[in-house]
Amino acid sequence: MLNSKEKILIQAKTLFAERGFTDVAMRSLAKTVSMSAAALYHHFPDKNTLYLETVQYAFADKALLFSEVWQLYSSAEKKLELFVSSLIQALISDCEFHRLIQRELLDGNTERMKMLAEDVFKEQFSFLLTLIKEIAPEQDAHLVAVSVSSLCMRHLEMQPLCRYLPNWKQEHEAPEVIAKHVIGLLLNGLAGKGL
């Protein structure tokens, strides 16, 4: 059974994904979860705290999945493949989390971007940097890590349009097909010189 805080976080995730940070009011959220505003503020002193904890809550299961990838005794290339596959699967299976990220990227609020980078994504990004440095030490690891994430996210964001473009196939929406394609692009590009 969920406690009050988890109920709030689940509903906040839905609201932030649908409306964005600016259009979610604390009083409205309190009403949605059938509690007083005072009770909501007991758990979360302000909207920034609520938002950060909501994104952390939404990312927690994905971080566990990625941590399993990093801990495998496997080649760096295999870990990268598993990470890409896990990231794509996570984004497909949790549309609200994907929308939260999209909204933040579109909004571009400096304070929230910094907060998300430092408090939610930094650890996983650091693991990805280490892996990339092992695979391609001559490449700019930061740019490659951003490219990995971007390739995965943009493939999924383009799907509604791609269905109507020439040569589209149903299989192009399968997570394993996308992951294999992205990994092929990455590993071939990383193996190339002068990138």
- Predicted pLDDT of residue 127: 94
Interval 144-157: pLDDT, tens: 999 999 999 998 89
Domain assignment present for 181 = yes
* The amino acid at 142: H
Cα 97 from Cα 89, distance rounded (Å): 12
Residue 195: pLDDT band (50, 70, 90) is: very low
| Residue 124 in domain | yes
pTM: 0.85
CATH number, domain containing residue 64 = 1.10.357.10
Domain-located, residue 76: yes
Helix axes 4-19, 47-71, angle to 10 degrees: 90
pLDDT in tens, 22-70: 999 999 899 998 988 898 999 999 999 999 999 999 998 898 889 899 9
- What was the pLDDT predicted at 4? 86
When divided into structural domains, the chain yields a total of 1
Element (H, E) at 8: helix 4-19
Question: Does residue 13 lie within any of the structural domains?
Answer: no
Per-residue pLDDT band for 194 (boundaries 50, 70, 90) equals very low
Question: Domain for residue 41, yes or no?
Answer: no
Within-domain flag for 6:
no
The residue range of the domain holding 100 is: 58-191
pLDDT number for residue 192: 62
What percent of the chain clears pLDDT 90, i.e. is strictly above it? 56
Residue 108's pLDDT is 84
Collect all residues with Cβ–Cβ distance below 8 Å to 88 and sequence separation of at least 6: 152, 155, 156, 175, 178, 179, 182
Where does residue 106 rank: exposed (0-12), middle (13-18), buried (19+ CB within 10 A)? exposed
**Residue 132: per-residue pLDDT:** 93
Q: Given this model, what pLDDT does residue 145 score?
A: 94
